[in-house]
Amino acid sequence: MASSGQTARTSGSRIAGVVSCLPSRRIENEDFLDRFGDKVHEVVKMTGVRTRYWVEDGTTTSDLCAAAAERVLDRLGWERGSVDGIIFVSQTPDYRLPATSCVLQHRLGLRTGILAFDVSLGCSGYPYGLWMAMMMVQTGAAKRILLAVGDTSSIMNDADDRGTALLFGDAGTVTAIEATVPDADPAWFILGTDGQGADNLIVPGGAFRKREATGRLEGHPLDKLFMDGGEVFNFTLKAVPSLIRDTMAAAGEGVEDYDMFLLHQANAFMIRHLAKKAKLPPEKVPINIDRYGNTSSATLPLLMTTDRADALTTGDCRVALFGFGVGYSWAAASMRIGPLRCCETISL
């Protein structure tokens, strides 16, 4: 057993297409100068974020995901009635109840009677979602699944906290997963948790636990995001290099066997540091946080559609994906992807 987490193997399914949807409102670093002055440049030096896209008031993650779903269904030529399930992975759902996946089932005109559920995960959500979808296909519960993954963190940003206000962007994505021949190349997953870090990246208010604004939360608006960047960075330094190593070991592959290593776009400084520490060649570690910010659960599919669409639509690539953060929760996947019939970025 890998020390990093639970190891899983699935077979008999593959990714057919991925579409990411960004809001059209682009926010520049200059827009923060009035509030934070010169400190903006220091923050940018660390995070690497130059622009990010934020939703307009009233737009939610499910709006972005619905647009992405429409596009992926059209491009793949999938009849609405042929989809057997929809999973919505997000920490910014439409409602406390019902599940946003139910709302999306109806909105997209999918069959009644399909399976649908929400999963509350952030940075680790995409590899987790792939594991769930591929496992569902393997068990025979579904042949075609839509995996909707995204967040609109801008809505819970603390505008006065320069540590987070400039970092996050919004995006919604949909990945289509389909059944393939049972003995096709397997996908490998490692999934792990350390809830000791729950308080280091948290929106304490808005659900059912009543928290006081005391201790580190003193003066912090409870319905806004609180992040202890140092502690979260510490966690990634400890967890991610071994996660990368264990994932390759589980799949029985070496660094040279992979076409790309997709790392959660947490912040540019951290990605470069982790890649160097894990001895990954920089050209195999794309970075797009400069253009889109940290889009939470959406960073990995967004990275596929913005920076690796050519490779993924033309070739058969061996890809490793790593999500890590809020929870703390982490998940990694190693699989062959491509040639995808659709891999694109749209805007709403």
Partner 1 sequence: MSGFYEELAEILEVEPDQVTADLRLESTSWDSLAVVSTIALIDEQYDKAVNATALAACETVGDIERLIAARQTESEA
**Among residues 45 and 80, whose Cβ is nearest to partner 1?**
45
Residues 6+ apart with CB under 8 A from 162: 32, 35, 36, 39, 40, 43
Catalytic residue among 65, 220, 264, 317: 264
How far are the Cα atoms of 50, 64, 186, 199, 292 from residue 171, in angstroms, in the given order? Answer: 16, 7, 29, 24, 9
Rounded-to-integer distance, Cα 330 and Cα 339, Å: 27
Q: Is 65 annotated in the active site?
A: no
**Among residues 41 and 80, whose Cβ is nearest to partner 1?**
41
**Among residues 217 and 309, whose Cβ is nearest to partner 1?**
217
3-state secondary structure of 338: coil
Q: Give 293's DSSP letter.
A: -
- Minimum separation from the CB atom of position 52 to partner 1 (A): 18
- For 182, other C-beta atoms within 10 Å of its C-beta total 9
**Among residues 69 and 165, whose Cβ is nearest to partner 1?**
165
At 222, which amino acid appears?
L
Rounded-to-integer distance, Cα 78 and Cα 102, Å: 19
Q: At what angle do helices 229-251 and 268-277 cross, to 10 degrees?
A: 40
Q: Is 267 annotated in the active site?
A: no
Rounded-to-integer distance, Cα 48 and Cα 269, Å: 7
- Minimum separation from the CB atom of position 258 to partner 1 (A): 24
Catalytic residue among 200, 267, 288, 294: 294
- Residues 105, 85: contact at Cβ < 8 Å? no
Unique residue bearing structure tokens 């703390």: 328
Q: Is 273 annotated in the active site?
A: no
- Minimum separation from the CB atom of position 188 to partner 1 (A): 26
- Minimum separation from the CB atom of position 54 to partner 1 (A): 23
**Among residues 31 and 199, whose Cβ is nearest to partner 1?**
199
Q: Tell me the backbone φ, ψ of residue 319, rounded to 5 degrees.
A: -125, 135
- Minimum separation from the CB atom of position 42 to partner 1 (A): 6
What does the binding site for partner 1 look like in residue numbers (CB under 8 A)?
Answer: 42-43, 45-46, 163, 228-231, 233-234, 237-238, 269-270, 273, 276-277
Catalytic residue positions? Answer: 123, 264, 294
